[in-house]
């Protein structure tokens, strides 16, 4: 596990370095002179020369990049055109966007997961068609159009909710009123993605062998779906939720602009409109860092959930008492070898015989060394030798 974490950390570090280089070169490629933008309205040549010398704009790009990365590692992202700290500005805006992302993720979870489960259980029924159609509509409707529609309905016509603005969490009721519409607008698209993914995962789980075994044992349909199929499907959904959280943090630009929320996304738009090069660099670097860190953390947690030293309750092999401890990943248990004199006439499932189904392979279940024949039924993969 230590080697796996080390490899993941190294890959995340490489991605961060490449992202920082791309951000630095991309900002330098923007038309215009950064020294003129940092000098504001002052066009005096002496002032422009002083700005170039202060920010090392008269040095090679490699020197500028190393100096910028060194300051960024120590938490100094420079100052913007208003001579305010970029790091302090970003820190004050991130909690607002993080609250919006968490609320939209909650809306998507409460809508997408139950809809996906119902669509999978009622496959081919009206419920399935209704959920699929709703997901298609949620993916097709643009966020800016839906946000404007909500403002006209609930703020202008009905006067139920405020049209724009933000209130701190010191006033919970007012804060919730201002965040309801943005959270629903931002969460509709992800709810559609979550519903489709949940439906696909549930259909795969409902057709698995352990679900048929649970039904054969006499368990009720609620226990089969809730305790077996649903829990096993949550592995993929949990990974998707973690990855989408990073995307929501960096992708709330349109929603915050429509509803007038002074968050991280709105800060990105303002920095681009004002051509504030230092602020653009800091915003994009923080967004890339947050996404890479969240993605790496989710990948590590998802891999650790199937490690044999931490048995996963949703995994059909981890629940077995004979899972192998020699492997670092969850793998099916190996059955003990049978004596050569033992004759078995009954046909066992292919999942209990780990020999390849090729005609030239040797059966690994017994010590007779007889070649394993191809399955009688290709659809069920049943071994004809054992």
Residue 151: band (very low, low, confident or very high) from pLDDT cuts 50, 70, 90:
very high
Structure tokens at 2: 């230590």
| More confident call, 277 vs 128 | 128
Averaged over 313-337, what is the pLDDT?
A: 41
How much is the pLDDT for 130? 92
Q: What pLDDT, on the 0 to 100 scale, is given for residue 337?
A: 46
Q: Give me Rg for the CA atoms of the chain.
A: 28
* φ, ψ (nearest 5 deg) of residue 79: -125, 150
9: its two tokens = 């950390």
Q: Higher model confidence: residue 364 or residue 213?
A: 213
* Stretch 202-218: mean pLDDT: 87
Please, what are the domains in the chain?
Answer: 86-304 (1.10.3720.10), 339-386 (no CATH)
Is there a contact between 202 and 121 (Cβ–Cβ < 8 Å)?
Answer: yes
The answer to whether residue 154 scores a pLDDT higher than 80 is yes
Predicted confidence at residue 330, as pLDDT, reads 44
**Average pLDDT of the segment spanning 104-114:** 91
Residues in the chain: 386
**For the residues 8-37, what does the mean pLDDT come to?**
81
**Rounded to whole angstroms, how far apart are CA atoms 329 and 309?**
9
Q: Is pLDDT above 80 for 258?
A: yes
- How high is the pLDDT of residue 77? 85
Cα–Cα dist 70/73, whole Å: 5
* Residues 46-101: tens digit of each pLDDT: 777 887 887 777 888 888 888 888 988 888 888 887 888 888 999 998 889 889 98
Using CA atoms, how far apart are residues 382 and 386, in angstroms rounded to an integer?
A: 9
C-alpha–C-alpha distance, residues 230 and 53, integer Å: 61
State residue 1's pLDDT score: 61
What's the token pair of residue 17? 């370095």
Residue 44, pLDDT above cutoff 60? yes
Q: Which whole number is the average pLDDT over 141-166?
A: 89
Residue 385 has phi, psi (to 5 degrees) of -90, -30
At 304 the pLDDT is 59
Is 364 a residue whose pLDDT tops 70?
no
Whole-prediction pTM: 0.69
pLDDT, average across residues 318-339: 42
Residue range 133-145: mean pLDDT, rounded: 88
Share of the chain above pLDDT 90, in %: 8
Report the pLDDT value the prediction gives residue 302, as an integer from 0 to 100.
61
Confidence check: pLDDT of 223 > 50: yes
Mean of all residue pLDDT scores within the chain:
75
Q: Please give the residue that has the higher pLDDT: either 51 or 374.
A: 51
What pLDDT shows up at residue 271? 85
């Amino acid at each position: 596990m230590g080697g796996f974490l080390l490899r993941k950390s190294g890959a995340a570090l490489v991605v961060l370095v490449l992202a920082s280089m791309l951000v630095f070169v991309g900002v330098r490629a923007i038309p215009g002179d950064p020294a003129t933008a940092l000098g504001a309205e002052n066009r005096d040549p002496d002032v422009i020369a002083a700005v170039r010398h202060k920010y090392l704009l008269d040095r090679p790009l490699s020197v500028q990049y190393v100096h910028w990365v060194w300051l960024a590692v120590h938490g100094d992202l420079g100052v913007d055109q208003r001579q305010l700290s970029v790091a302090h500005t970003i820190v004050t805006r991130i909690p607002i966007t993080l609250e919006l992302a968490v609320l939209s993720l909650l809306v998507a979870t409460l809508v997408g997961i139950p809809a996906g489960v119902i669509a999978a259980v009622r496959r081919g029924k009206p419920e399935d068609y209704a959920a699929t159609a709703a997901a298609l509509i949620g993916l097709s409707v643009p966020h800016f159009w839906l946000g404007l529609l909500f403002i006209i309905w609930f703020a202008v016509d009905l006067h139920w909710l405020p049209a724009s603005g933000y209130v701190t969490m010191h006033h919970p009721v007012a804060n919730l009123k201002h965040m309801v519409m943005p959270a629903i607008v931002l969460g509709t698209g992800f709810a559609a993605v979550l519903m489709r993914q949940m439906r696909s995962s549930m259909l795969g789980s409902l057709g698995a062998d352990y679900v048929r075994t649970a039904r054969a044992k006499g368990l009720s349909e609620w226990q089969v779906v809730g305790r077996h199929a649903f829990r096993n499907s949550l592995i993929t959904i949990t990974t998707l939720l973690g990855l989408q959280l990073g995307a929501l943090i960096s992708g709330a630009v349109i929603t915050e602009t429509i509803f007038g929320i002074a968050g991280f996304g709105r800060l990105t738009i303002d920095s681009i409109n004002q051509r504030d090069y230092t602020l653009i660099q800091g915003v994009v670097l923080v967004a890339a860092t947050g996404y890479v860190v969240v993605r790496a953390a989710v990948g590590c947690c998802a891999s650790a959930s199937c490690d044999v030293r931490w048995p996963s309750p949703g995994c059909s092999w981890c629940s077995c008492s004979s899972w192998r401890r020699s492997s670092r990943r969850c793998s099916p248990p190996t059955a003990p070898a049978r004596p050569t004199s033992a004759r078995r006439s009954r046909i066992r499932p292919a999942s209990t015989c780990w020999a390849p189904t090729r005609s030239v392979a040797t059966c690994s279940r017994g010590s007779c060394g007889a070649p394993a024949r191809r399955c009688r039924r290709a659809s069920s993969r049943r071994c004809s030798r054992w």
